[in-house]
Every structure is written in C-alpha cells, then in structure tokens.
Structure 1
Amino acid sequence: MLHVVKDLERLKIDAIDGDIGYVYDFYFDDVTWTTRYLVADTGKWLTGRRVLLSPNSVEKPDFKEKELSVNLKREQIESSPSISEDEPVSLQHEKLLGDYYDWPAYWSMDPALQSMFAMKDDEHNKDVSSGDPHLRSIREVRSYDVEALDGDIGVVDSFIIDDNNWNIKYLVIDTRKWLHWLPGGKFVLISPKWIDKVDYQSSKIFLSVDKKTVEEIPEFEHAKDIDMKFENKLYDCYRAFLNRKQEHTPR
C-alpha cells in the first residue's frame, strides 16, 4: 500500500515488549530511491536518543491504532550501536547495525560496496568511516526547490512510500507558488525516474521533464487515489513529453 510520508511521521512505534517512541524521519538512498532506515525518536524512554530501524524489522503501519510495530525487543534497541546525529551515517556504522541486528546488508549484492569494505584498511582507497554521500534524510529534502528543464515549478512537499518494499515511488511537489499560469496551482506526483540530479549544496532537485509535462499531470490529493487509472494518466503525460522531445530532435 502507498502512504504519504507525512502520514507515517509521528506514528507510535511498538516493539515486541512495549512502546519505544515515534517515527521521526526516513533515510533513503538517492540512487535507488529506497528507504534504508526509519529514524525513531525514543522520547522519554532513551532521552535525547534517536535510533535507526531497518525496514526489514518493520511491520505494515496500523493507522487505526496510529502505530507501527517492529519485530525487535526494547533491550535490543537500547543496546544497539549508537549513531551520532551530528555526523553523517557511515558505511561502517551501517555495518555495525547490520551485524548487531543480523539485518541483511543492502551492499551484499553490490560488488563495488563489497570492495569498499574489503579494502577499508588501504589508506589510498575510500574511507568507509566517512558519511555515505547517497544516504539522505527525507526531512532535509522535503523543503528542496524543484526545477523543470525550462524553469522552477515548485517545492518538495512530501514523499509517497510503498510499504511492500519501502521504496519511494513518488515525490509530492507543491506547485502553488510557482506555476503562475496555472490558477491556484496544485500538488503533483513526480517519479524519481524523472529526476536528472539532486544538488544538495543549492538544495534543489532538477527534473528531466518540462513545465508543460508538470502542468498536464493530474492533481494529487490523497494516497488512496493512486490507482492504475491515475498512474496511467501520470505516465501518459511523461510519454507525451518524450514524443514532443523526439519531434524536436534534429534528424
């Protein structure tokens, strides 16, 4: 099922033997657009501490009870390796967490990342103790400006996550202050596949589509409205853009 991240934030997190806090943030991979970790704020339980939880430990959200269950015990979470909030999460930190919880390592299928761990003692190779440049906070990116091929179109308002695999399926873009030719503006969904690059220094996302495509995209209101019919309309707009692009390409 698809969920707006804003609806997931502040859900109470229940371990096997009790409450551990609430959902504070999500860390995602900006190459694959998959959620690597949920960030749990432990509130008064572990005062001042936030912990990372792998989607492998998380059950489907229960909005009726306003909670998210994890298949871990409070003692496990309390004794887990500490992650500093003031420093980027490094591959070494992630490996420590994976080893501690026996989580399957996302890098186990990536030969390049395997090599990084194998060669970590070589001072001439990449230092895996440094922050992972592809691990990003949804809270951070949610305020980024968004630019189409021919100009600004809005700001990131939220994300749509699929709880079957915790992948980011869409970004929710608020166009209301930017699309002046569109009365009132609207919220639209943009697929990560339509993103050309993310510039973290300027806090901006650059799309590979034009303003006309964004204008034609159906308005987004609720996650429950994202069905096959809605997605077909969405991708029809993208296909129309590709056709326009091909027509203007010199032969």
Structure 2
Amino acid sequence: MLIHPQFDPVAIWLGPLPIRWYGLMYLLAFAQFILLGRYRIKTRPSIMTAEQLDDLLFYGMLGVILGGRLGQVLFYEPGYYFSHPFEIIAVWKGGMSFHGGFLGVVIALGLWARKQRLNWLAVTDFVAPLVPLGLAAGRIGNFINGELWGRVADANLPWAMVFPQAGDLQPRHPSQLYHVGLEGLALFLILWLYAGKNRPRGALTGAGLVGYGCFRFITEYFREPDAGIFGQSYTISMGQWLSLPMIAVGILLLVLAYRKQH
C-alpha cells in the first residue's frame, strides 16, 4: 500500500506570486497542442496555417476556462456557488469540469470556424487528436494536488494509495492516473493513428467523442463520485451521465460520416 507523496501544490514562487503545478499543467497542455498542431500542418494537407492555429488556441483557451468553470458551477456545485457568487471567478482555487470545458471549446471552435469561413467539423477533426495529451496533463495536476481521489480499494492492490485529503487512511485507487492512461495516452494513440489516413469529415470528431466517453465511463467506476446535480451515486455518477451524450453523438457522427462517404 502506498501513501500519496503530498506534493507542494506551489511549484515555484515569483516573489509574492505562487506558480502552481496545476496551472503549469494547463500551460503544458496548451504547449503540446501547438507543437502537435504545427507538426500536423507541416506533415499533412491542412485546413489552416500555423498563424491560424495560434489564433485557434486563444479561442480554445477561453472555451476551456469559461466553460470548465461554468460546468463546475452548474453540473456539480450549483448550491454552493449560487450562495457564494464571488467564488465563481476564483478559478485559482480549482474546480473545473471537463464536460463544461468541452462544451465551451465546442462553442469557441464554432465561433472561430465561422470567423475563418471554415467548416466546423473540419476544424474539430483537426483538433481531436491534439486534445488527449492535454487531458493527461490536467489529470497529472489533479494527482499532484491529491484531489479527485479514487474509491476505496483492496489493501492488497499493489498500487492502492492512501490520500490524506480524503479524510481517512483507507487505501484507494489512484484514479487520476487511470484517467492519464486511458483518456490521455490510450486515446491519443488511437486518434493519432486513426488520423494517419484520410477519413470522412466528422469521423475523427466522432471517434474522439466515443473514445473519451467510453474511457471516462470506465474510469468513473474507480473514482470517488462527485456529488452532482443528481446527488452522489455509486451506481452511475455525474461524470458518467455527462459522458453518455458524448458517446451517442459520437456514434451518430461516425455513422453519418461513413454513410455520406458511401
């Protein structure tokens, strides 16, 4: 049985300003997006230039931050934030919902595609393989902070870990690392290889939605469920409820993409 290392959440201090690991993970996520995106632009026919990619990242960053925060407020803790409205803007304290951030990015990409007069699905197809490693970086930030710990595990599980932040000394699944492995590394490999050949428009987007939704549904079984708007459930969690529409829309996109191709 392992014990969480209890990392200092502050990586470095710049005078009185703390630079937190979680913020650095977001920076790493945005950096890998640019690097992988430019690689795709150089090595494959692309719908955009490197300059457009930089502009797209700005829109995506706004979508992630605004959508992620509003998702946390509306999906998980509406009662708390409506009672403490000024806490909504305190993003430095943590509290970001992936599904909210996803919706924010979808809207941001739509606005950017309209501005550039590009097809929305063509843009999301380009973006899909660039996302998973950024998600992995965010989950590493969760692990460093010792948050979003897993459910109680068998003490004989070699990698079971005690998270003091959980308020007990029970061994738990390090579910943050499960997220890194499945929604991050595995999904990246699947989408990157799938994007290696020309696919019908919408297929990459659909594959990304199905892949993330399925992997998230699986990892939620090892994660201590959040108390969402439906309450806290160990049968089907808020994260799983929010993943079901992603899977359904992803399957629909894949079917329509290949039906249109034929």
TM range (shorter): under 0.3
TM-score for the superposition, normalised by structure 1: 0.24
TM-score for the superposition, normalised by structure 2: 0.24
Bigger RCO of structures 1 and 2 (CA < 8 A, at least 6 apart): 2
